[in-house]
């Protein structure tokens, strides 16, 4: 009997942590001799996927902006005052998401080390390669929703902040102690962005930002004028999240089947109306005119202007709208240090380099277009410098935009991830 | 004169190659389809022992292919796209191969070189070139506007079924022409001469002699291009990008590319492979029959 109780406990723990679906848990309970009919007595309803109650990888609670999480320490940070290693120093990042000249080369020159950049296409791919050991790097770009995995899987090492004075000196105060990593024990912020709509005023006569519900542009019958020239981000969270926001939903991490079904139904409804293309190249397509209205990441608007805008084309035709704090999503990504780093001191100095105000400014304004989480970074300064067109002022987020009360796509339970992925696959199938 | 084992030894490198680069990876796909995921990273954890395989995901995925279910529409679309692209490739490619085989004399090597030329450029690059040609501001539209054949530039890449089919033809046709050319070259000309001597018109000789004798070549070339077309996902992505033109390969990509359901991606791969195996079996049976007829 004691053995059976232990098995039941294991199954329930698996269910609570999201490793087992309700059906799988019921079946497993049946297999250990507990009548399926008795399962409701276990009060599955009380185990609903509520943030802060539902555990993520390794039992670490899922963080939300209003439910901060302190990640557990599985090793000690390096000691203070150590000399940097000789390298070569390896970093791991998205493709085309860091400037070679103003960021990598300056670090290389400053510390006299060779810096080797390895790139990945998606965060899924990055985590897979790091976990399988197919890449051995010192520092990696990582999104907040993956930090729990990185810590639970002992991929990351805790930071010694004495090497990273720029974190306190330059970074938004709210992101010095972010909800996803209280105390910044494993990460420093890199770039910030919101999600909204980018459009060309030379092709679209409607002032999308002035509409009562700007998201409705993808569903409006009048949008048939733009058929073939609209776009939605090729991302399960962003696309379904847009449909949720269209209906006024603000829980961007819902695991409610009915809400996701409705979002899917809405998203599919865009196909016969605006026939959106699904991609994440709006920085290019809006610039070259192959799309006129595109769900967009704010950083890609400046990226379009910096790197893709055709010579002589009027920059004032590109506009951007996002719903604002508490109604629209904001995100940031981070840099962390690998537990197996062969150059941990250099890796700390790299994080400090990333948080340097001048380095961050140059990285944004000459290459990525994505704003850093720097206190000194302002839209007015960019406009004055002639880098940012006046009408795109709203792509730059302020500290208030990303603090408590903001909407963010956060880590889901495995079951929640399945639900979002299934819904997205159905949308993508176009049938 | 030679030991019996000598000739089989020649096949060893190819067999080893097949085992290492096809059978083992394919068994890994099967292991993933019937396996689980790592509880922390959600990476696939293949189940190697067939006695421990979990068939639930494959079963559910198979049900998804029934009419009206999740994969039915995209599967049907994929089959139609491939059928149209294959037909188009044959209609375009056969005359080219026929001309080179029968009528090109001094220019034969030059024409073959021109057909091989696209292989020098990667498939992806050729597709991107297609985008530059047919984009709203591309060369084709500029030409059409300049000639005033159209007043507003057509949106070739805005989710058109025709663009995807034409893209598939454009991408795969060189792979069809070369084996077809080899098959046509192998046809004994004396058979054609005999047909003409017996009073057959050129058209009749073609339809009653050349075409039937080139059937194995047509089937072989069709198989060579149809198999990769079925798994293609980058052509619709590049030349359309719209959900209404995605193919089954796009669904496999979604499930394999990340997330907690690699076993669904692996199951889709297995189902597609089984479907293609049926087509392959038809090809092999036809070839075997043709060889028997020739021998007779």
Cβ(A187)–Cβ(A333) under 8 Å?
no
Q: pLDDT tens for chain A, 431 residues: list them.
A: 445 455 555 555 555 445 555 555 555 554 544 443 334 333 333 333 344 457 777 788 999 988 899 999 999 999 999 999 998 999 999 988 999 999 999 999 999 999 999 999 888 889 989 998 889 999 999 999 999 999 999 999 999 999 999 999 999 998 999 999 999 999 999 999 999 999 999 999 999 999 999 999 999 888 788 888 899 999 999 999 999 999 999 999 999 999 999 999 999 999 989 889 999 999 999 998 889 999 999 999 999 999 999 999 999 999 999 999 889 999 999 999 999 999 999 999 999 999 999 999 999 999 999 999 999 999 999 999 999 999 999 999 999 888 788 899 999 988 899 999 999 999 999 87
A429 with B243: Cβ contact below 8 A: yes
The pLDDT score that the predictor gives to residue A348 is 98
Partners of residue A288 in chain B, C-beta under 8 Å: 135, 137
In a domain? residue B41: no
A290 with B135: Cβ contact below 8 A: yes
Cβ(A152)–Cβ(A175) under 8 Å?
no
Partners of residue B72 in chain A, C-beta under 8 Å: 431
- Domain with B205 in it: what CATH number? 1.10.3720.10
In a domain? residue B118: yes
Q: What ipTM, to 2 d.p.?
A: 0.88
Query: Chain B closest CA to A266's CA: distance in Å?
Result: 14
d(CA B129, CA A22) in angstroms, rounded, equals 49
Give the other-Cβ count within 10 Å of A335's Cβ. Answer: 23
d(CA B89, CA B27) in angstroms, rounded, equals 33
Domain that holds residue B244: 46-124+153-295
Interface test with B, best of A74, A425, A426 (most B CBs within 10 A): A425
Quick: pLDDT tens for B184-217: 998 888 888 898 889 889 899 999 999 988 888 9
What total number of domains does chain B contain? Answer: 1
Give the other-Cβ count within 10 Å of A381's Cβ. Answer: 14
- B51 burial level (CB within 10 Å; 0-12, 13-18, 19+): exposed
Q: Residue A188: left (phi > 0), alpha (psi -120 to 50), or beta?
A: beta
B72: nearest CA in chain A?
A431
CB contact A427 to B (< 8 Å): yes
Q: What is the pTM of this model?
A: 0.86
The pLDDT score that the predictor gives to residue A82 is 95
d(CA A175, CA A375) in angstroms, rounded, equals 10
The pLDDT score that the predictor gives to residue A15 is 52
B72 with A275: Cβ contact below 8 A: no
Nearest to A424 among B77, B135, B254 (CB): B254
Cβ(B256)–Cβ(B265) under 8 Å?
yes
Give the other-Cβ count within 10 Å of B207's Cβ. Answer: 12
Identify the DSSP state of B244: G
In a domain? residue B31: no
Residues of B with CB under 8 A from a CB of A: 37-43, 70-74, 77, 135-137, 155, 157-159, 237, 240-246, 250-251, 254-255, 257-261
Cβ contacts from A onto B, under 8 A: 118
Nearest to A152 among B40, B251, B255 (CB): B40
Partners of residue B260 in chain A, C-beta under 8 Å: 414, 417-418, 421
Cβ(A405)–Cβ(A233) under 8 Å?
no
The pLDDT score that the predictor gives to residue A218 is 94
């Amino acid at each position: 009997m004691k053995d059976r109780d232990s098995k039941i406990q294991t199954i329930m723990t698996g269910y609570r942590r999201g490793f087992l679906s309700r059906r799988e848990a019921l079946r497993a309970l049946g297999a250990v001799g507990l009548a399926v009919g008795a399962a409701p007595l276990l009060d599955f309803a009380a185990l609903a996927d509520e943030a802060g109650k539902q555990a993520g990888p390794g039992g670490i609670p899922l963080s939300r902006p209003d439910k901060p999480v302190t990640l557990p320490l599985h090793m000690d940070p390096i000691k203070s005052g150590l000399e940097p290693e000789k390298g070569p120093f390896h970093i791991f990042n998205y493709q085309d998401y860091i400037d070679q000249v103003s960021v990598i080369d300056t670090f290389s020159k400053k510390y006299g080390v060779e810096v080797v950049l390895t790139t990945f296409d998606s965060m899924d791919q990055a985590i897979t390669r790091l976990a399988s050991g197919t890449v051995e790097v010192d520092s990696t770009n990582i999104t907040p929703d993956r930090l729990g995995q990185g810590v639970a899987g002992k991929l990351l090492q805790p930071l010694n902040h004495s090497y990273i004075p720029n974190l306190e000196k330059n970074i938004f105060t709210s992101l010095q102690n972010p909800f996803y990593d209280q105390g910044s024990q494993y990460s420093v912020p890199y770039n910030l962005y919101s999600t909204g709509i980018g459009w060309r005023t030379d092709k679209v006569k409607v002032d999308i930002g002035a509409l009562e519900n700007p998201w409705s542009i993808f569903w409006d019958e009048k949008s048939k004028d733009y058929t073939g020239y609209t776009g939605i981000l090729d991302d399960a969270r962003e696309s379904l999240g847009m449909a949720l926001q269209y209906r006024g939903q603000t829980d961007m991490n819902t695991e409610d089947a009915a809400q996701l079904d409705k979002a899917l139904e809405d998203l599919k409804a865009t196909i016969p109306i605006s026939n959106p293309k699904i991609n994440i190249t709006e920085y290019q397509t809006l610039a070259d005119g192959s799309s006129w209205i595109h769900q967009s990441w704010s950083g890609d608007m400046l990226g379009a202007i910096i790197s893709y805008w055709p010579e002589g084309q009027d920059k004032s035709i590109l506009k951007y709208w996002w719903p604002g704090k508490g109604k629209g999503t904001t995100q940031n990504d981070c840099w962390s240090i690998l537990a197996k780093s062969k150059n941990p001191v250099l890796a700390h100095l790299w994080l400090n380099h990333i948080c340097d105000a001048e380095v961050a400014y140059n990285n944004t304004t000459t290459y990525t277009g994505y704003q850093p989480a720097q206190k000194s970074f302002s839209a007015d300064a960019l406009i004055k410098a002639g880098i940012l067109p006046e009408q795109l002022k709203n792509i730059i987020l302020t500290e208030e935009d990303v603090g408590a009360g903001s909407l963010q796509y956060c880590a889901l339970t495995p079951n929640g991830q399945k639900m979002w992925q299934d819904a997205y696959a159905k949308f993508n199938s176009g049938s | 004169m030679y030991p019996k084992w000598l000739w089989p030894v020649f096949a060893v490198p190819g067999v080893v190659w097949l085992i290492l680069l096809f059978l083992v990876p394919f068994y890994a796909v099967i292991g993933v389809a019937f396996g689980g995921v790592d509880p922390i990273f959600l990476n696939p954890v293949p189940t190697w022992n067939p006695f421990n395989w979990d068939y639930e995901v494959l079963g559910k995925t198979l049900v998804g292919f029934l009419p009206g279910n999740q994969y039915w529409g995209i599967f049907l679309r994929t089959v139609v796209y491939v059928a149209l692209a294959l037909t188009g490739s044959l209609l375009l490619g056969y005359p080219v191969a026929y001309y080179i085989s029968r009528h090109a004399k001094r220019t034969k090597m030059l024409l073959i070189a021109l057909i091989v030329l696209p292989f020098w450029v990667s498939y992806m690059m050729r597709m991107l070139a297609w985008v530059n040609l047919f984009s709203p501001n591309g060369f084709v539209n500029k030409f059409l506007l300049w000639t005033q054949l159209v007043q507003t530039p057509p949106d070739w890449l805005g989710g058109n079924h025709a663009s995807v089919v034409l893209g598939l033809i454009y991408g795969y046709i060189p792979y069809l022409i070369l084996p077809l050319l080899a098959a046509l070259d192998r046809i004994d000309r004396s058979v054609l001469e005999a047909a003409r001597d017996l009073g057959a018109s050129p058209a009749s000789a073609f339809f009653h002699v050349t075409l039937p004798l080139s059937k194995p070549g047509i089937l072989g070339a069709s198989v060579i291009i149809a198999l990769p077309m079925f798994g293609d996902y980058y052509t619709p992505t590049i030349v359309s990008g719209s959900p209404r033109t995605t193919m089954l390969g796009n669904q496999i990509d979604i499930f394999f590319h990340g997330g907690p359901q690699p076993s669904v991606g692996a199951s889709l791969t297995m189902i597609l492979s089984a479907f293609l195996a049926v087509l392959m079996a038809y090809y092999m049976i036809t070839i075997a029959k043709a060889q028997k007829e020739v021998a007779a």
